[in-house]
Structure 1
Amino acid sequence: MNKCIFQSILFLLFISTVFAQKDAAKVQREYVTKQLPVEEEITIDGLLSDKAWDTVSWDGDFTVFDPNNGEAPSQATKFKIAYDAKFLYVGIRCYDSVPSKIEKRLARRDNFSGDWIEINIDSYNDKRTGFSFNVSAAGVKGDEFISQNGDFWDASWNPIWYTASKVDSEGWTAEMKIPFSQLKFGEQKEQIWGLQLNRRFFRAEERSLWQPVSLDAPGWVSEFGVLRGLIDIQPQKQLEIQPFLVNQYDAYPSQEGNPFRDGSDYKLNVGLDAKIGLTNDLTLDLTVNPDFGQVDADPGAIALDGFQIFFEERRPFFIENKNIFDYEFADGNDNIFYSRRIGRSPQGFVTTTPDEFIDQPTNSTILGAAKFSGKTKNGWSLGLLESVTGNMYADIEDVSGNKRSELVEPLTNYIVGRVQKDFNQRNSFIGGIFTATNRKIPDNLDFLRSGAYTGGLDFKHNWKNRNYYVEGNIVGSHVTGSEDAIARTQNSITHLFQRVDARHVSVDDTRTSLTGTGGKIELGKAGGGNWRYDGGVIWRSPELELNDIGFLRQADEIKQTASVSRLFIKPTNFYRRANLELSQYSTYDFEGNYNRIQYQFEGFINYKNNWWTEVGAAHKPRIFSNTVLRGGPRWRWSDENFAYLFFGSDSRKKLSFTLGYVNSQAAEKNFSLARYVFRLNYQPFDAFSLSISSEFEDNPNKTQYVTESSFNGSARYITGNINQKTFSTSIRFNYSINPNLSIQYYGEPFISRGTYTNFNFVNNPIAERLADRVSMYSENQILKSTVDDTYLIDEDFDGRVDYQIENPDFSYVQFRSNLVLRWEYVPGSEVFLVWSQGVVGAGNPSETLGSNLDRQILGQKKDNTILLKATYRFIL
């Protein structure tokens, strides 16, 4: 194991030397702005006709970024930048030889479509972060916070700024007015900021830039030009207060006798959000009685492997500045901070009698939250988040009217602290993170952990114009609780200390704490030339536990990774760009078991006509799992091969589509997967767009885990042949009356059905042949009960039932939809009118997906919600 890892690292060090090239010096362009005379004003109407614009000079000479990198663009672009005491002004002229063909597609904010222009400003001048302001020819605005040198663009950042655009005989023009309070910078005589302008010429799908950037550049923000001439501008301390009012009416099918389901509910919620600029660099966000609802529902999902499902954060308070708090320490979704834990569904449960009804809260109430975050001119990124969720009670009432309440989630305090420091001319950083979760645990909830603490250190170093990098981190966790809580942690699927064949872990029922570590080290080439490569090692120790405020899928793993890719970035008569990648990884557990190895090929090509194809294939000659039998012995899957093919048409067209197919096959037909994907986008006219995304999946498996039982004092691990089919379709449309007023619809039915046959039990879980791994029950050993929904097992043929298993067949059905009217009546202030529908239930596993769709979704009465939310943003 260790030899393989060290060989990978030595190989990467070798090829980094072989492929290292001397990079050409980058010519950095500069624009020098000037302050407007006191008596001059600029009106933001998109016309560029104000005399004040004569104060500054034009600049232009854009070059193509994509596809013909470095060449002169098809259409010229020029711009001016001016400023006064409080605002930065940008005027842009986008020439077009055929103005009638300018694409003016309407959309809601942050949906970039048609012809557009954007300005990126690195006011920190840290070569890693920036602020992006975008306006389309139709006047639709967009704004994003850029971090990780362009790897992450946060569209949830919604600053207050002003813009307008106009089409004329020469093309189209745009004006922007950006308050300095929405940017972050330190106090100094002259500000020196990073600057980039990026134009999309839609009908040629051509991107042109003011500061030339090569397609093989290692990043985005690090390649900006320079903005000078900002003399004696004063940092503006941001002070914003945003009260909100939410009226919500719920209507649903009533249940006879249930006092909690009488057919309707009404809720009124009033709260307050505030931003206080402690300095221009650092902001304090406060929220009182927050409304953390989300417009889009989480997509339907079902997991038969027992692991938790990761859902994206959608709540604005947690999304904004999330780059500062992010600490993705390993791979996948593993992260020290997973904000969906705050306000989670209550973890407690209530035992009721048949004549009792229960009203279980779906989420924990967030009493308040505060977030201190920002970045200083000296390169310090700072973040501190504090949130408190209250005691949550389930209400119970019986048929006689007797009432009681039981606590299902305790008072909980969450803290996250994050710091990073840039150095080495912004080419390197080092940082740290600390989190704490503390619960006030009563006796009936002592299965929950009372405390959870994590800490971590991370770093990244870039060299040779940021083309090469080494990065890494280490994390540590410590959780405390009652003996029951820590025993549950040890037995959870994340850890599985009870594994019967594990020699390095075991359950200790007397423990009241666990302490673990994790981390990664990675070395690679991120830019320069046509080759990219990386490799590294990731580890998660058996006792690592992050799931109180973080996300950890599985502990007890060491993973080695390596990949190399070839870019084809010079367009030809056949393609605009393409890339090929080969990758490999292997995994081990901390006992030293060699569990998995995978080899994978991936390729992508964007054709000359903007159609595209994506292909991939992988071979897994070794697949062992410590989790399949849920605490049972290590399990071997048959060798697997999988492949996928996706292709799509030109997304600029009024009608575009994507078709995809994924196929996986295991040896001996142990399991297989066939997934069919269809996506359609249609925009018949500028104000309306429609998208449909459908997936159908057929996923049979001869050894799907069912349950564990006991026979003659020994454990029996029972699996079955599952025939699982899943279908989902999401439908969205957007009708924009103007850039600030739109109507949106989102709807998604999700159906998953699984039926089991050919039940069997595990004999030799690591045998090479499937027939040696399991033994099938004969017809004389298994019988379907005529009394209840169980299977009766007579394993020793003595005429007596040795054990029984519940019928595992299932059919899960979910439908969610939202119809939303959004109106930004003044910049930063909005009104939402929402109509939501939903239904969740169980269908009949013996029926087809189509029948369940008809009965459980189309034929069911649905829960309905009418919601009106109004906000007003005071700028003080």
Structure 2
Amino acid sequence: MNFKVLANFAFLCIFSIAFSQKDSVRVIREYTTAPLPINEHIAIDGVLSDTGWEHVPWDGNFTVYEPNNGQRPRQLTQFKITYDAKYLYVAVKCLDSVPSSIEKRLARRDNFAGDWIEINIDSYHDKRTGFSFNVSAAGVKGDEFISQNGDNWDASWNPIWYTATQIGEIGWTAEMKIPFSQLKFGTAEEQVWGLQLHRRLFRDEERSIWQSIPLESPGWVSEFGILKGLKNIQPQKQLEIQPFLVNQYDSYPKQEGNPFKDGRDYVLNAGLDAKIGITNDLTLDLTVNPDFGQVDADPGAIALDGFQIFFEERRPFFIENKNIFDYEFADGNDNVFYSRRIGRSPQKSVNAVAGEYVDLPINSTILGAAKFSGKTKDGWSLGLMESVTGKMFAEVGSFDGEKRSELVEPLTNYLVARVQKDFNERNSFVGGIFTATNRNLTSELEFLRKAAYTGGLDFRHSWKNRNYYLEGNFVGSHVVGSENAIVNTQRSITHLFQRVDASHVNVDPNRTSLTGTGGKLEIGKTGGGSWRYNGGFVWRSPELELNDIGFLRQADEIKQTAQIRKLFLKPTNFYRRAQIGFEQYTTYDFEGNYNRIQYEMQGFINYKNNWWTEIGAAHKPRIFSNTVLRGGPRWRWSEENFAYLFFGSDNRKKFNFTLGYVNSQAAQNNFSLERYVLRFYYQPFDAFSLSVSSEYEENPNRTQYVTETSINGLPRYITGNIDQRTFSTSIRFNYSINPNLSIQYYGQPFISRGIYTDFNYVANSLAKNINERVTLFNQDQLTSTETGNSYSIDENLDGTVDYQIVNPDFSFVQFRSNLVVRWEYVPGSEIFLVWSQGVAGLANPYDTLGSNLDGQIFGEKKDNTFLIKATYRFIL
């Protein structure tokens, strides 16, 4: 390993120890509740007039969290908590001297608009995880599962609970009724839970909290106060069954002669979701034939570098409790478990002959999935997921009515097991993960890996009031398949064992398995004072392979990282908060090649008027890549500088905006990037909101990879000067008739086009001067064919064509939209009315983006899907 890596890491270790501070002394507040008398009843109407509230005391004395941390808030807040055998009851008085200024914006669930109050409960009392219940002055619910000590808030968690609000002369009031079945806790005679209440005074953007927390604290959940007095409550096992029924009608342009495109299809589908409480701590989630028709489509994207594109998970079954299964072992999006692999697009393509048409499934069918997960009172986090996707067949037919089926995806079983154990007074944990993918392969699918297994160990240790930490993990992978499958793996862009100048890897056609490792070790300071820093390294060995059920962009890398930030937490007359930071990293491969170094500065400031600015700049004096030439020699990019500037207005206003600009420039004009960003949000009245996010980018590159060919038996790597331009817009609006009935729309036009000129071939891939790195073809060497679909190249000018390359010019256009009417007619049960539209295709790259947008999106007939989905949540 390079000396710089060890030196930087040692420096961070010494720096962390040298600046250690003594544990700070904090006053931990307590609220002692009492049970609701047996003969009393509390109606959840937001009025607080029930006599049941008289048996518990009011508490208050909130302090400001932001912006003036520790000071008295401008408006007072009081609360009470009581309980019976099945429910926890919360009453809150949000006093307000100007009740006419209370902001009561309607929105969909989990939008958190306007004035609101939330209660956070750490019923595990593990000081890392919690449950959040939020209600706005308009009565809009919000609920989130908190993990990573407040670094992650999962809004996909949708428990059943009840709430109501009222606005009166002294402010506004809220009542909550939370079933114990939605919380997780042990069987102690008296429960001790972590507790926090958090109020947002919208017009002043003031956040006040019951248990004071300094802004320099290392986390959120670990700093909670205490809820006591919960005696003899019994854990409630969850038992919920939610069947659903879907009616779906598809219409699309009819294609003459295509037996699969007659203009319309009709589907009736049914399925089942269930939650079964094995214990109060551990829940079994089941889904049979799940439907995700109401989920937003993925945004448009094009990757010219050959790497796979990471898309966020949007399907509810896989999102819920995802924090338990998460194992981000290195950096970026690399993860041992990437749930988008389950139900993936079929991996085999179909070669149809002339006159044949293919009906290829978009996704693999998930026959069923089960997820056992939760956390015990002893600090064990457990997760076990099992899922099966079915065989998928493409239908091949011709206009004369003959049809045949072709297998394109095998029956596949996915397994993920995850465990973590807290210890050392919840300041530390150790854990592990195991995944398995097994495919039932036939001869036509032997190019796929038959099986893939990964295992990992992780840990985190915190000390000095959790201000300092040491964390790390280790991952091992083992994939098995036919010789063909393992050759494909070795030659994939993730590995590229065929690299012509690599001596530490090579393609072995006789291998039937690969085994690799990866991991991370990091130390740093995350709280206390105004300085934050960390440093460490990650590695991914050449044979590491995770992409059967995980996500791995590139193997064969060692990366050293270091970061330091200065926080300005005390507000002034100029700003509410600010920070500046510096980052540095270097990368190497396992042959010892020093590939990259980057230095970056960032800054952020939130002004007194709540506007903000974010700025940054970076310098990359050394950029080498093993992947640019897709198996060719190591490639050198010219050194690069980039900078960005974003600023935005006060996001509380009914109209607010963000403007952004990103600029990257490489030496000798090797490549550049200019990106323009405009986002705005408009809420003309409380029930309606509109948001638009647009990006336009120009990304020219003098040496964009085109293809590999050969001349005189030697490989020839062709690149070209690409002029790439991309435009995308995401449009959303929401109209809330009431907190449980809303109309939502999402639409995204996307267009990207690239035109290639000045084709050249690689002469010396490591040359610093770009004119020595590539040699430009002259007009006598390169000739466009009559059709314009390819180029003929006579490199040695002997009058004979040496090779041809396909014209790489492209223009891709896509439009996706969803219009959803959502009605939660009883808590946890919903009806969806959905209209989806979409169109995708290729356009003329020589037309402008605007004309292609008009002709290919607005001027084309679109595919339409109409569906009705109804669910009912039985609580047994």
Report if TM-score (shorter chain) is over 0.5.
Answer: yes
Name the counterpart of 2:125.
125
Q: For 1:667-699, what per-residue CA distance to the aligned partner results, in whole angstroms no more than 9, with x for missing partners? A: 000000000000010001100000010000000
Tell me the SS of whatever aligns to 2:850: helix
When structure 1 is superposed on structure 2, of 396-405 and 465-474 the one drifting more is: 396-405
**Is residue 179 of structure 2 the alignment partner of residue 201 of structure 1?**
no
Equivalent residue, structure 1, for 2:49:
49
Contact 1:294 1:315 in 2 (8 A): no
Residue matched to 1:871 = 871
Cα deviations by residue, 1:474-530 (Å, 9 ceiling, x for unpaired): 000000000000000000000000000000000000100000000000000000000
Equivalent position SS for 1:438: strand
Secondary structure at the counterpart of residue 364 of structure 1: coil
- The residue matched to 2:13 in structure 1 has which SS? helix
Contact 1:23–1:528 (CA<8 Å) still a contact in 2? no
- Structure 2 equivalent of residue 187 of structure 1: 187
1:315 equivalenced with 2:315 (yes/no): yes
Cα deviation, 1:114-173, whole Å, max 9, x if unaligned, reads 000000000000000000000000000100000010111110000000000000000000
1:620, 1:830 → 2: CA distance?
52
Counterpart position of 2:796: 796
Contact 2:459 2:473 in 1 (8 A): yes
Q: Provide the C-alpha distance between the structure 2 equivalents of 1:393 and 1:697, rounded to a whole number of angstroms.
A: 39
Equivalent-residue separation in structure 2 for 1:415 and 1:820 (angstroms): 33
1:165-206 per-position Cα deviation (integer Å, ceiling 9, x unaligned): 000000000000000000000101000000000000000000
Q: Does 1:351 align with 2:362?
A: no
Whichever residue aligns with residue 845 of structure 2, its letter is P
Query: What CA distance in whole angstroms lies between the structure 2 residues aligned with 1:366 and 1:289?
Result: 6
- What displacement does 1:212 show? 0.2
1:591 match: 591
> What is the CA-CA distance between 1:2 and the residue it aligns to?
2.6
Distance 2:607 2:395 in 1: 60
Q: Would the aligned equivalents of 1:105 and 1:686 in 2 still touch at CA under 8 Å? A: yes
Work out whether residues 46 and 163 of structure 1, in 8 Å CA contact, stay in contact via their aligned partners in 2: yes
1:660·1:676 contact (CA, 8 Å) conserved in 2? Answer: yes
In the alignment, what sits opposite 1:820?
A: 820
Aligned residue number for residue 545 of structure 2: 545
**What is residue 107 of structure 2 aligned with on the other side?**
107
Q: Is the 8 A contact 1:723 1:755 kept in 2?
A: yes
1:239 alignment counterpart = 239
Q: How far is 1:19 from its partner?
A: 2.2
Task: Give distance in 1, aligned partners of 2:736 and 2:476.
Answer: 49
SS at match of 1:798: coil
Structure 2 match to 1:271: 271
CA contact (8 A) 2:670 2:701 kept: yes
Q: Which residue in the other structure is 1:9 paired with?
A: 9
In structure 2, distance between residues paired with 1:769 and 1:714:
23
AA partner of residue 532 (structure 1): R
Counterpart in the other structure of 1:489: 489
Q: Which amino acid aligns with 1:634?
A: R
What letter corresponds to residue 297 of structure 2 in structure 1?
Answer: A
Cα distance in 2 for partners of 1:13, 1:360 equals 54
Compute the displacement of 1:237 (Å): 0.4
Aligned twin of 2:850: 850
* Aligned residues of 1:496 and 1:630 also touching (Cα < 8 A): yes
- Hey, what's the Cα distance between the residues in 2 that align with 1:811 and 1:73? 56
1:175/1:787 Cα in 2 relative to 1: closer, same or farther (>3 Å)? closer
The 10-residue stretch of structure 1 (18-27 or 362-371) with the greater mean CA deviation from structure 2: 18-27
**Is the CA contact 2:294–2:834 (under 8 Å) kept in the aligned structure 1?**
no
Q: Deviations over 1:69-126 (max 9, x none)?
A: 0000000000000000000000000011100000000001100010000000000000
TM (normalized to structure 1)?
Answer: 1.00
TM-score (norm 2): 1.00
How far apart, CA to CA, are the structure 2 residues paired with 1:546 and 1:17? 36
Matched, 1:622 2:605: no
Deviation string 1:637-681 (CA, Å, 9 cap, x unpaired) is 000000000000000001100000000000000000000000010
In structure 2, C-alpha distance between the alignment counterparts of 1:823 and 1:109, rounded to whole Å: 11
Q: Show the counterpart of 1:465.
A: 465
How does 1:423-442 map onto structure 2 within 5 Å? 423-442=423-442
Deviation at 1:764, TM superposition (A): 0.3
In structure 1, distance between residues paired with 2:625 and 2:134: 48
Equivalenced residue count is: 876
1:294 Cα deviation from its structure 2 partner:
4.6
Aligned-pair distance for 1:26? 1.3
Distance in 1, Cα, partners of 2:293 & 2:458: 33
Q: Residue in 2 aligned with 1:602?
A: 602
Confirm or deny: 8 A CA contact 1:293 1:315 kept in the other structure: no
Tell me if 1:97 matches 2:97: yes
Match of 2:168 in 1: 168
- The alpha-carbon deviation at position 288 of structure 1 amounts to 1.4
Indicate the larger mover: 372-381 or 10-19.
10-19
The one-character-per-residue Cα deviations of 1:805-848 (angstroms, maximum 9, x if unpaired) are 00000000000011110000000000000111000000100100
Matched, 1:143 2:143: yes
Q: For the residues of structure 1 that align with 2:79 and 2:440, how far apart are their CA atoms?
A: 59
Query: What is the letter of the counterpart of residue 170 of structure 2?
Result: E
Q: Is the 8 A contact 2:294 2:832 kept in 1?
A: no
Per the alignment, in what secondary structure is the counterpart of residue 756 of structure 1? strand
The residue number in structure 2 matching 1:260 is 260
Question: 2:810, 2:845 within 8 Å by CA — same for their partners in 1?
Answer: yes
2:406 counterpart residue number: 406
Q: Which amino acid aligns with 2:90?
A: V
Q: CA deviation at 1:788?
A: 5.2
Residue aligning to 1:65: 65
Give every structure 1 segment of 4 or more consecutive aligned residues whose post-TM-superposition deviation is greater than 3 Å: none
* SS in structure 2 at match of 1:100: helix
Q: In the alignment, which residue of structure 2 is the partner of 1:833?
A: 833
Paired position in structure 2 for 1:156: 156
Quote how far apart the aligned CAs of 1:8 are: 1.0
| Cα distance in 2 for residues equivalent to 1:838 and 1:293 | 13
C-alpha separation in 1, matches of 2:621 and 2:758: 26
Deviations 1:426-481 (A, max 9, x none): 00000000000000110001000000000000000000000000000000000000
Q: Does 1:81 align with 2:104?
A: no
SS of match in other structure, 1:783: strand
Residue 251 (structure 1) aligns with: 251
Task: Give the SS at the match of 1:459.
Answer: strand
The residue that corresponds to 1:666 in the other structure is 666
Quote the residue 1:639 is aligned against.
639
User: Could you tell me whether the CA contact under 8 Å between 1:61 and 1:76 is conserved in 2?
Assistant: yes
The residue matched to 1:745 in structure 2 has which SS?
strand
| CA-CA distance at 1:295 after TM superposition | 2.1
- In 2, Cα distance between equivalents of 1:96 and 1:80: 18
Query: What corresponds to 1:296 in structure 2?
Result: 296
CA distance in 1, matches of 2:573, 2:216: 20
Deviation at 1:220, TM superposition (A): 0.5
Matched residue type, 1:815: F
What's the offset of the Cα at 1:292?
3.4
Q: Distance in 2 between matches of 1:370 and 1:793?
A: 57
CA distance in 2, matches of 1:412, 1:293: 23
Corresponding residue for residue 654 of structure 2: 654
CA contact (8 A) 2:257 2:398 kept: no
Partner SS state of residue 867, structure 2: strand
Other-structure match for 1:453: 453
**Structure 1 SS opposite 2:484:** helix
Question: Residues of 1 paired with 2:677 and 2:747: CA distance?
Answer: 17
The separation in 2 between residues aligned to 1:811 and 1:644, in whole angstroms, is 27
- Percent identity between the two aligned chains: 76
Correspondence list, 1:670-685, <5 A: 670-685=670-685
Whole-Å separation in 1 of the counterparts to 2:360 and 2:689 = 39
| Unmatched 5+ stretches in structure 1 | none
Measured in 1, the distance between the counterparts of 2:597 and 2:294 equals 40
Across the aligned residues of Structure 1 and Structure 2, the Cα RMSD in angstroms comes to: 0.6
Is the 1:250–1:266 contact (alpha carbons within 8 Å) kept by the matching residues of 2?
A: yes
| Residues 294 and 820, structure 2, Cα contact 8 Å, conserved in 1 | no
Give the letter for the 2:434 counterpart: F
* 1:787 CA drift (Å): 4.0
Report the Cα distance in structure 1 between the residues aligned to 2:787 and 2:77, rounded to whole angstroms. Answer: 78
What one-letter code is carried by the residue in structure 2 that aligns with 1:16? Answer: S
